[in-house]
Amino acid sequence: MNIKKRWYIKADYEEAIKMLAVTGLTFAFKRKPILDDVSFTLTDGQITGLVAPNGTGKTTLLRLLCGLLPVGQAHVLVNGIDQRQKHTQFLKQLFFLESSSNLYPDLTVQDHLLYVKRVWQSPVDIGETVASLGMQSYAKTRIKRLSLGMKQHALLAMYIVSNAQTMLIDEPLNGLDPSSIQQFEAMFRQLREEGKTLLVSSHQMDSVGRVCDQVFFLKNQKLDALPNDGQDMMAEYTTRFLTEAS
């Protein structure tokens, strides 16, 4: 085989593994089962919504994916890197910060962004990110002086600055005003255009319908994947969770 041919194969392979792949994920808290032998693949340049009623296991799934909870015998790979085998390298491929309550109260927004930029060795410009989210007036303010919506913006800015391939985002739209929701949706679309892989939990079904390429409904410890063909996502939610199952 000549070298050129080998290069092509390597390029194809790298293209193929640029994604999040999960096989055989089962998890329970004591007697409460959360996931039962769940497998899925998220390709790059795709936004997947994660939808289920409160207390079903959305946050637990996101924690499992980045190794904050033990995955047991399951395989979780990002860009072909196994969570259990090359943990540090694996973590650099993704970004997850559960909620704005995890931000440091005495540090400023900019401090958080500088920290993320350094640790994730990211080329993303902090000033541009701050401007694109309209955060200039509070970039140098400590987290403890910010409103919930401002903290949500700071959190999203951290995701953008991380430049991570896979972004696990837990209920980013909670508590946002309609114009901020639009702004966040635009950011998600931009990240998708850059080829990022987004898994976003949300209860905002109209938003899910506008931005997601597919939706994972978490029900009975399984993920029910639904491609977004423009259907009414609230009706899909109602069918699964509000109508009594026979």
Ligand X SMILES: Nc1ncnc2c1ncn2[C@@H]1O[C@H](COP(=O)(O)OP(=O)(O)O)[C@@H](O)[C@H]1O
CB of 34 to Mg ion, least distance (A): 11
Site for ligand X contains 179 (CB under 6 A): no
Backbone angles phi, psi at 74, to 5 degrees: -70, 160
Among 47-55, 78-86, 104-112, 141-149, the segment contacting ligand X (CB under 6 A):
47-55
The smaller minimum CB distance to Mg ion, of residues 82 and 98, is found at 98
Query: Is residue 204 near ligand X by the rule CB under 6 A?
Result: no
Rounded to a whole number of angstroms, the minimum distance from the CB of residue 218 to Mg ion is 11
User: Of these partners, Mg ion, ligand X, none, which one is at the site of residue 42 (CB under 5 to 8 Å by kind)?
Assistant: none
* CA 59 – CA 242 distance, rounded (Å): 21
* Under 8 Å between Cβ of 175 and 152: yes
Q: How far apart are the C-alpha atoms of 155 and 146, rounded to whole Å?
A: 12
Per CB under 6 A, 202 contacts ligand X: no
Give me the residues that bind Mg ion (CB under 5 A), please: 58-59
Q: Which of 18, 19, 49, 59 binds ligand X (CB under 6 A)?
A: 59
Q: Which residues of 148-175 are buried (b: 16+ CB within 10 A; e: fewer)?
A: eebbbbbbbbbbbbbbbbbbbbbbbbee
CA distance 58 to 179: 26
Name the binder of 117 from Mg ion, ligand X, none, CB < 5-8 A by kind.
Answer: none
| C-alpha–C-alpha distance, residues 173 and 185, integer Å | 9
Q: 54 vs 73, which CB is nearer to ligand X?
A: 54
Q: Of ligand X, Mg ion, none, which one sits near residue 56, judging by CB under 5 to 8 A according to partner kind?
A: ligand X
For residues 5 to 44, the per-residue mask of contacts with ligand X, x marking binding by CB under 6 A and - elsewhere, is ------------------------x--x-x----------
DSSP 85-136: TSHHHHHHTEE----GGGS-TTSBHHHHHHHHHHHTT----HHHHHHHTT-G
Give me the phi and psi of 240, to 5 degrees please.
-85, -35
Q: Does 60 bind ligand X (CB under 6 A)?
A: yes
102 binds ligand X (CB under 6 A): no
Q: Which does 166 bind (CB under 5 to 8 A by kind): Mg ion, ligand X, none?
A: none
Q: Which option in ligand X, Mg ion, none does residue 105 bind, with CB closer than 5 to 8 A by kind?
A: none
CB of residue 168 vs ligand X: minimum separation in angstroms? Answer: 12
Q: Is residue 144 close enough to count as binding ligand X by CB under 6 A?
A: no
Tell me how far CA of residue 239 lies from CA of 13, 113, 137, 178, 217, in angstroms. Answer: 40, 41, 44, 26, 11
Round to whole Å and give the CA distance between 63 and 181: 24
DSSP 245: P
How many residues make up the chain in this entry? 246
Of 59 and 202, nearer to Mg ion (C-beta) is 59
Residues that bind ligand X (CB under 6 A): 29, 32, 34, 52, 54-60
